[in-house]
Amino acid sequence: MKNFNSIKKNIDFQNVYKNGKSYANRQLVMYILKNDKKVSRIGISVSKKVGNSVVRHRLTRLVREAFRLNEDKLKGCYEIVVVVRIPSVGLGFNEIQDSYLHLCKLHRILKEMV
């Protein structure tokens, strides 16, 4: 299995929160910070208020999969932190992916599709 590029350290999360730019919609909040690395990394935060561990891990997997499938559509390399909100509970993959792509469009980090 391929090693997944994720943000794990608290200092990296805090750096994106402090220096990055954020946009939000009903389901997700996305913080973006341009990086100098050759790959984009994602960090996913789901509060205990969202649900029990099964619900939180399911939402984490859905957001991670949305990132993985659309990683090649990003213009450059970014540090991305996604905060999952309570209205995401019960949504399917397509709704989560649409919400993720909507935020990417707001940040203007998607390549122009011809």
pTM, 2 dp: 0.91
Q: How far is residue 36's CA from residue 60's CA, in Å, rounded to a whole number?
A: 25
Q: How many CB atoms lie within 10 A of CB 112?
A: 5
In the prediction, which pLDDT does 81 show?
97
Q: In the CATH hierarchy, which top-level class contains the domain 10-107?
A: alpha beta
pLDDT for 29-76, tens place per residue? 999 999 988 899 999 999 999 999 999 999 999 999 999 999 999 988
The domain spans of the chain are 10-107
Hey, what amino acid is at 76?
G
Whether 1 has a pLDDT exceeding 60, the answer reads no
| 21-34: pLDDT as tens digits | 999 999 999 999 99
Strand 78-84, strand 41-46: pairing: parallel
pLDDT of the residue at 5: 85
**Quick one: tokens of 74?**
């990003």
